[in-house]
Amino acid sequence: MTEYAVRNPATGELVETFPTATDTEVGAAVDLAAAAYSSWGRTTGAAERAALLHRVAELHLERRDELSAAMVEEMGKPLGDAEGEVDFSAAIYDYYADNAERFLADEQIELGEGEGTALVRRAPVGVLLGIMPWNFPAYQVARFAAPNLATGNTIVLKHAPQCPRSAALLQQIFLDAGFPEGAYVNVYASNEQVADVIADPRVQGVSLTGSERAGAAVAEIAGRNLKKVVLELGGSDPFIVLGSDDLDATVEAAVGARMENTGQACNAGKRFIVVEDLYDDFVARFTAALLAATPGSPLSSLAAADNLGRQVDEAVAGGASLSSAGERDGAFHPAGVLSGVTTDNTAYRQELFGPVAMVFRAADEDDAIRIANDTPYGLGSYVFTPDAAQAQRVADQIDAGMVFVNGVGLDAAELPFGGIKRSGFGRELGRFGMEEFVNKKLIRTV
């Protein structure tokens, strides 16, 4: 049975439980969403929906302290990170409110022959299911909910079992903003009930952010039922250092790329690939800075720390060297740097979800690209070099959905987010995030 509960991430102590939904309650959630689509989603205009989204943004900021406190208690997020997440979420709702009418405007098609006109009209498709993770309880919901509510789709939202308080707070925001009952419905569903929701003919698509295993399971069920899926899964993003006019600044950026959200971000820099002539100096400075930045917050749970600890132990047993800031203390995991990770080491193709980095020596630019692409993942990547031509040349050759040149923390509401390979498919945010679950209806008139 899926347990929806708030537990102290550091100790595992149970703080509060929330009842898992019954089959009847899950069915009622889909009923509400389907009714709201018929009475609201299909009949309202983009401007009306945009006004509601602006109010959602305002309520995020008004309730910033409450939302942030919930995230801190549920999954151990550092308070500053939680506050920043709420602010970013508000910006996403405002972005889609500001741009909904433009993104959804009719698109005229120039006819090659024949009389009359042709256009593409973007329309909602119906009820969508969102399956969200624990590491960004508000932001992940915003990425999914904002563009789809702006379009007129309605949402059934299954949040992570360890974030039930955040889930309830978010649903209340949508209700208080003026969305009709059923436009956004939170449901504390089990995995088995989720399968039934995907199979429901009224549900037109599903978006999941989570693990590869969860993504594969959801995609399999959705495929059987001919439902569209957007998947944002894991990542082992390369951070490539090809040159630097200010190595200390590059190291600072590298530490920031690894330590966001206590290292628990899918698009964090995880594999640091450095060319030969900079390797020794970079690794020495990076190791010192990363170990000094050992987080004061726990990982999301004792289980998360156990898993990371096991991965690190296996990497060392496989021949890697570990520089560490100390010993584990329950869910508090020290920062660490693994070097000498060879291709036959189990860690080489794993995602390390926490404050541990892997460093690799590259002979030259081509070798750095080879190492960067030698991964089953393809979410984000980072390229650092003062040579603008080199930066663009390398960016073109990286197998990833996103490349950030000479900067970290550059995510924005207008920038599409998503990956390739085992990192999933589809895009969120930006104009592309509104194109995933929309009926691009052709209307040809003679």
Render pLDDT for 59-108 as a digit per residue (tens, 0 to 9): 999 999 999 999 999 999 999 999 999 999 999 999 999 999 999 999 99
Assess contact for 6 and 160: CB atoms under 8 A. Answer: no
Give the whole-angstrom CA distance, residue 226 versus residue 220. 10
pTM beyond cutoff 0.85: yes
Which CATH number does 4-233+423-445 carry?
A: 3.40.605.10
Which of 73, 85, 232, 260 is an active site residue?
A: 232
Asked whether the predicted pLDDT for residue 215 surpasses 80, the reply is yes
pLDDT tens digits, one per residue of 298-344: 999 999 999 999 999 999 999 999 999 999 999 999 999 999 999 99
Phi, psi of 206 (to 5 degrees): -140, 140
Tell me the Cα Rg of the chain: 23
Percent of the chain with pLDDT over 90: 97
Give the containing element (helix H, strand E) for 58. helix 46-62
User: What is residue 332's predicted lDDT score, i.e. its pLDDT?
Assistant: 95
What average pLDDT does the segment 109-127 reach? 95
pLDDT tens digits, one per residue of 133-142: 999 999 999 9
Dihedral sign of CA atoms 41, 44, 50, 56 in order: negative
Give the containing element (helix H, strand E) for 229. strand 228-232
Distances in whole angstroms, Cα of residue 318 to Cα of each of 315, 321, 356, 367: 5, 9, 16, 23
What average pLDDT does the segment 241-246 reach? 97
User: What is residue 320's predicted lDDT score, i.e. its pLDDT?
Assistant: 98
Assess contact for 115 and 72: CB atoms under 8 A. Answer: no
Give the whole-angstrom CA distance, residue 370 versus residue 372. 5
User: What is residue 262's predicted lDDT score, i.e. its pLDDT?
Assistant: 95
How high does pLDDT run on average in the chain? 97
Chain position carrying tokens 């707070």: 169
What average pLDDT does the segment 32-48 reach? 97
Percent of the chain with pLDDT over 70: 100
Q: How many beta carbons lie within 10 A of that of residue 335, not counting itself? A: 25
Which class is domain 237-413?
Answer: alpha beta
User: What is residue 368's predicted lDDT score, i.e. its pLDDT?
Assistant: 98
Give strand ranges (E) for 221-315. 228-232, 237-241, 269-275
Give the whole-angstrom CA distance, residue 168 versus residue 162. 12
Concatenate the DSSP letters of all residues of 9-40 into one string: TTT--EEEEEPPPPHHHHHHHHHHHHHHIIII
User: What is residue 2's predicted lDDT score, i.e. its pLDDT?
Assistant: 87
Give the whole-angstrom CA distance, residue 273 versus residue 280. 12
Ranges of CATH 3.40.309.10 domains, the chain: 237-413
Indicate the length of the chain as a whole number: 446
Give the whole-angstrom CA distance, residue 393 versus residue 7. 47
What average pLDDT does the segment 245-268 reach? 97
User: What is residue 241's predicted lDDT score, i.e. its pLDDT?
Assistant: 98
User: What is residue 75's predicted lDDT score, i.e. its pLDDT?
Assistant: 94
User: What is residue 10's predicted lDDT score, i.e. its pLDDT?
Assistant: 86
Give the containing element (helix H, strand E) for 389. helix 388-397
Assess contact for 323 and 337: CB atoms under 8 A. Answer: yes
Assess contact for 359 and 339: CB atoms under 8 A. Answer: yes
State the pLDDT confidence band at 11, using cuts at 50, 70 and 90. Answer: confident
Give the whole-angstrom CA distance, residue 272 versus residue 221. 36
At residue 194's C-alpha, the angle toward residues 188 and 198, to 5°, is 135
| C-alpha atoms less than 13 angstroms from C-alpha of 271 in its C-beta half-sphere | 30
User: What is residue 114's predicted lDDT score, i.e. its pLDDT?
Assistant: 85
Asked whether the predicted pLDDT for residue 1 surpasses 80, the reply is no
How many helices (DSSP H) and strands (DSSP E) are in the chain? 14, 20
pLDDT greater at residue 144 or residue 294: 144
State the pLDDT confidence band at 47, using cuts at 50, 70 and 90. Answer: very high
Which of 74, 163, 266, 428 is an active site residue?
A: 266
Chain position carrying tokens 């969120």: 428
Our answer to whether residue 163 is catalytic in this structure is: no
What average pLDDT does the segment 409-434 reach? 97
Phi, psi of 302 (to 5 degrees): -60, -35
Ranges of CATH 3.40.605.10 domains, the chain: 4-233+423-445
